[in-house]
Amino acid sequence: MAADTAVKAGRVPLLCTVMVALVVLSTLALVDWTNSGVARPMWMLFLPLAFGIAGAISAWSKNSLAGVLLSAGLGFIALPALYFTTTLVGGP
């Protein structure tokens, strides 16, 4: 009985995997690939975090600790990692 309610480690639900992919895609959508200089809407900055939290909630509902850590961690670190990488590649 206790094994049924325990948090499972190692299995990531499909919806969580989709949300992780959306975190990556929404982060890549923030990059100005054409060098046009057109600013992205402010609400787009919240998409990676929102998708990460949604994936963590879906993983938590399926008792997947690995999914929670993966989705929430990627959602929180995606934007700072993008800024850091952009600064390293493009220069100050």
Give DSSP secondary structure letters for 20-60: HHHHHHHHHTTS-TT---PPPPGGGGGHHHHHHHHHHHHHH
Task: Divide the 92 residues of the chain into consecutive groups of 10 and give the mean pLDDT of each group.
Answer: 53 91 96 88 95 96 93 95 90 74
2: tokens are: 């206790």
pLDDT number for residue 7: 55
pLDDT number for residue 78: 95
What is the distance between the alpha carbons of residues 44 and 41, in angstroms, rounded to a whole number? 6
pLDDT number for residue 35: 85
